[in-house]
Amino acid sequence: MPEPELLIVAATEREAAPFREQGFSTTIAGVGKVNAAVAASLALTGRKDATALVSVGIAGSLPGEHALRIGDVVVGAASVSAEDGVATPDGFQPLDEMGFPLARGVRSGRFASDSALLARMRRALPDAVYGDIATVSTCSGTDEAAEEVVRRTQAIAEAMEGVGVLQAAAQLGAPAIEIRTISNTTGRRDAQTWNLELAFEALGRVAAALLRP
Q: pLDDT (tens digit, 9 = 90+) per residue, 159-176?
A: 999 999 999 999 999 999
Q: Please state the domain count of the chain.
A: 1
Range of the domain at 128: 5-210
Cβ–Cβ < 8 Å for 37, 165: yes
Q: What is the pLDDT of residue 106?
A: 63
Cβ neighbours of residue 186 closer than 8 Å, sequence gap 6 or more: 60, 61, 62, 63, 139, 140, 141, 145, 146, 149, 158, 192
> Across the chain, what does the average pLDDT equal?
92
Lowest model confidence (mean pLDDT) among 96-100, 136-140, 195-199: 96-100
The whole-number average pLDDT for the span 124-150 is 96
Q: Which region among 23-32, 106-115, 131-140 has the lowest average model confidence (pLDDT)?
A: 106-115
Q: Which of 75, 120, 114 has the alpha carbon at shortest distance from 210?
A: 120
What gap in Å lies between CA 98 and CA 100, rounded to an integer?
6
Which domain CATH number covers 142? 3.40.50.1580
What's the confidence (pLDDT) of residue 77? 97
pTM: 0.93
DSSP calls for 158-195: EESSHHHHHHHHHHHT--EEEEEEEEEE-SSGGG--B-
C-alpha angle with apex 44: 22 to 116, nearest 5 degrees?
Answer: 70
Rounded to an integer, the average pLDDT of 81-87 is 85
pLDDT at 213: 62
Q: Is the pLDDT of residue 1 over 70?
A: no
Report pLDDT digits (tens) over 103-121. Answer: 665 667 899 999 999 999 9
Q: Tell whether the model's pLDDT for residue 95 goes beyond 90.
A: no
**pLDDT at residue 89, as a whole number:** 84
| Residue 66: pLDDT band with limits 50, 70, 90 | confident
Per-residue confidence (pLDDT) for residue 101, from 0 to 100: 65
Residue 113 in 3-state DSSP? coil
Task: Note whether 179 and 75 are within 8 A (CB).
Answer: yes
- Distance set, CA 49 to CA 5, 44, 182 (Å): 8, 10, 32
